Amino acid sequence: MLMPLDENFNKREMDPVIVKNSGIPLHVEFINEVRINKSAVEKRCASAINRRTVKKHNQAAWLLKAITCMDLTTLSGDDTEGRVMRLCNKAKNPLRDDLLEKLGVKDLNITVGGVCVYHQFIRTALDNLRGSNIPVVAVSTGFPAGHTPKKTKILEIKESIRSGAQEIDIVISRRHVLSGNWKKLYDEISEYKEASGDACLKTILATGELGTLKNVAKASLVCMMAGANFIKTSTGKETINATLPFTLVMSRAIREYFELTGFEVGYKPAGGISSAKDCLSQMMLIKEELGTKWLHPSLFRLGASSLLSDIERQIEHFATGQYSSFNRHGIA
């Protein structure tokens, strides 16, 4: 057995107490004061990549932590009940038993943070995740484009809640951001928050379609003011998805909102994160900007489908000294 992993991974730690976001009135003046220095953002992100590296035990520990924060996702037009069943089995057992034994963490019951599916597969996911404490996440509100009537979107949220989804990922209307209509965006998210009840509401900004980093920052703040529990970068269907500049801008919006209200809002980068290296860069930036508390599934999720395959390969290399081919690590 390898030496147990360091303090960066401790699945047995008590869940942190989260001050959940209940929203505040819209402060348009505060939103209009937002300024973003694009060159400074890019410089900060570049330095974060160059300055921070983790190796060996520390890297394995960070990657195990990443698994526990992952929303394992299948959102394809050819999804089937069989694929969702296989995804749920992988969610409950993301790593092989022999790897867990070599790492000395078999008793920690490592699972992913959630399973994300379309509405019609909620029941299949619930049936296959029963007893695992892994939440089912449903995408909603006309995902991914969001071009459906508001009444339909609200009904979709309510139906997903009734079907058993514990978390709802909604898409915002990008036109409100691009036109600077913050009141409409605020009202829209407020209605989604009311419809979702006690479920965790994650708002997808589709950052690659918002035009500027300033728009990303403003949209992040408006969504949090309206009561979002998480802000999420992308649907995964856009050309540009979860980049480090988006993560920096959105994490600082979360920090600013926390300093203003005391509410703790989670962050979910999604789309384009397919390698362990990219995943670690995201996590390190979050730790530096928001602190270790935000590297917990209640405040941080990684939206991913193929990422787990590369993480499993990297952990296998650490444990055995050999890389395996990607086709040995199918997800679903």
Any idea which residues carry the catalytic annotation? 169, 232, 268
Distances (CA, A) of 136 to 51, 75, 77, 195, 294: 36, 13, 19, 17, 21
Query: Which of 135, 197, 204 is closest to 167 using CA atoms?
Result: 135
Q: Token match 């990443």: residue?
A: 66
217 alpha-carbon distance from chain centroid: 17
Judge whether 321 and 285 are in contact, CB under 8 Å. Answer: no
- CA diameter of the chain: 58
CA distance 265 to 81: 32
8-state DSSP, 305:
S
CA distance 179 to 192: 21
- Tokens standing for residue 306: 């193929």
The alpha carbon dihedral of 15, 90, 326, 101 has a sign of positive
Residue 58: other Cβ atoms inside 10 A = 15
12-21 contacts: CB < 8 A, separation 24 or more? 12/108, 15/296, 15/298, 16/293, 16/296, 16/298, 16/299, 18/264, 18/298, 18/299, 19/262, 19/263, 19/264, 20/229, 20/263, 20/264, 21/224, 21/227, 21/228, 21/229, 21/261, 21/263, 21/264, 21/265
Judge whether 224 and 253 are in contact, CB under 8 Å. Answer: yes
Query: Which of 216, 271, 224 is closest to 245 using CA atoms?
Result: 216
8-state DSSP, 135:
P
